[in-house]
Amino acid sequence: MEATLTRKPTREEMKPGEVLCDHCTAKCCRYFALPIDTPKTQRDFDFIRWYLLHDRASVFTEDETWYILVQTACKHLQADQRCGIYETRPQICRDYTTDDCEYGDDWVYDRYFETPEQVAEYAEAVVQKPGESIRGPKPSLLPIM
């Protein structure tokens, strides 16, 4: 038996009365992202390294705002990708709309970190150590001829 692959419709292909959620895998219910302070010091970056030592955590930036993202499904997400407590869902869920949701999979983060090593390398490049100049060493004077 040959399986036919169907693709989900784009936003533009949706018919009046159709709902994006009918064609989605409930991405919005499979993670949460919270803004965090913009790291400025080595200590700040060390906290981010600590976040990333935890399973399914990542950190990203969008429009210069830093976020911690945790990939974890809502415990009320049902097998049909619908909310099991829709009528009593939290206010944050009620306020969420599909107007700007990630249905189309077409977003890119400004920065994205998945490992503590990535953060350490980034911090090394951007954090100025006390007494250290961001300029390279002063070149030697040219000999007088």
Q: Are 81 and 21 in contact (CB under 8 A)?
A: yes
**pLDDT of residue 141 exceeding 90:** no
- Summarised one tens digit per residue, pLDDT across range 65-120 is 999 999 999 999 999 999 999 999 999 999 998 887 888 776 678 999 999 999 99
* pTM beyond cutoff 0.85: no
- Summarised one tens digit per residue, pLDDT across range 15-24 is 888 888 888 8
- Give the pairing of strands 31-36 and 65-71: antiparallel
| Residue 141 DSSP label | P
A 10 A CB-CB count for 38 gives: 10
- Summarised one tens digit per residue, pLDDT across range 112-135 is 999 999 999 999 999 877 666 556
Q: Measure the CA–CA gap between 50 and 117, rounded to whole angstroms.
A: 11
Of 37 and 25, the structure prediction assigns the larger pLDDT to 37
* Band of pLDDT at residue 11, cut at 50, 70 and 90: confident
